[in-house]
Amino acid sequence: MTRSAYVALVTCFNDDETLNFAATRAQVRRQVAAGNNIMCAGTNGDFTALTHGERLHLLEEMVDEVAGRVKVIFNAGCPATFETLQFARACDAIGVDGIAVVTPYFIACTQDGLVRHFSTVADAVQTPVYLYDIPARTQNHIEPATARLLAEHPNIAGIKDSGGTTETVLEYLKVAEEVGGFEVYCAPDHLVHWGLQQGCAGVISGLGNVAPQILAAILSGFNSGDTAAAEAAQEVFAALRKDIYGLGYPPAMVKRALYTMDPSVGLSRQPALMPDPDQDAALAAILKTHRLT
């Protein structure tokens, strides 16, 4: 199986915090040129700062720019199943390759509640649905037994694991072994090559916004059987991750690092990270060290 890389693309903003679609399209083209697929409205896309209409408009712009050259997955997840269904049905109409559904946030869910949430969405659409587990941000975790139950659903195609632990990845991979067609996407950037070696279908990366070619090199090396090339690219990617993420909240650091490279991406909506001269200087030095500027 050929493994795939998706980048959880940043959302670009103008100075007045309105969406900058021209800059966002430029970022899409940059990822397409590297051979990476796109995740729209993920954590690195500031989806929680977007209105319902803005998320759909953003998806339409991305799908139009991609024009079928790579795959597009849209994060339709909301705290309530009701609104998640609205997004998911819109995805069917717009046309995407997959619908990621992040676990509800703010609302504390039982495992039964999660099963009902994901099953209801998967029942309502034709587009394949991917579970999206990021417990550090949502405070709700898809237990492996729950993933096993949901994997039996004919329209649930896999899971994006952003939990950050190797143990959970391996548990989800056991589910994939037992249920044919269930794909596991390992999100932590320091585990890309490891995840591929364990059997993951690919990766959905935030750091790929900063270094799309390095991410693509890990995948191309693995897919071609060039383990040395994949490992070398992973070492570079992991070192970049350590340096950038060591400065603060990862999505904010990714956006700010990318801003340092290309100011057209803009700042994130408040109350997100504000510019800090010392932090910017540190990011600039990191990017120079890794030959990204």
pLDDT, tens digit (0-9, with 9 covering 90-100), for 1-24: 899 999 999 999 999 999 999 999
Note the helical H segments in the chain. 21-34, 52-66, 81-94, 111-124, 135-138, 144-151, 166-178, 192-198, 212-224, 227-245, 250-261, 277-289
161 forms beta bridges with 133, 186
Residue 164 has pLDDT above 90, yes or no: no
* pLDDT at residue 275, as a whole number: 78
Instruction: Give the residue numbers marked as catalytic.
Output: 132, 160
CA 79, distance to chain mean position in Å, is 18
Give the least confident one: 146-155, 195-204, 211-220, 265-274: 265-274
**Predicted confidence band at 273 (pLDDT cuts at 50, 70, 90)?**
confident
pTM of the full structure:
0.96
pLDDT of res. 168: 94
Angle between helices 144-151 and 111-124 (to 10 degrees): 30
Residue 187 has pLDDT above 80, yes or no: no
pLDDT level of residue 82 (50, 70, 90 thresholds): very high
Segment 41-60 shows an average pLDDT of: 96
The answer, yes or no, to whether residue 274 has pLDDT greater than 80, is no
Mean pLDDT score, 86-104: 98
What pLDDT is recorded for position 163?
Answer: 87
Mean pLDDT of the region 126-152:
97
Structural fold of domain 4-289 = TIM Barrel (3.20.20)
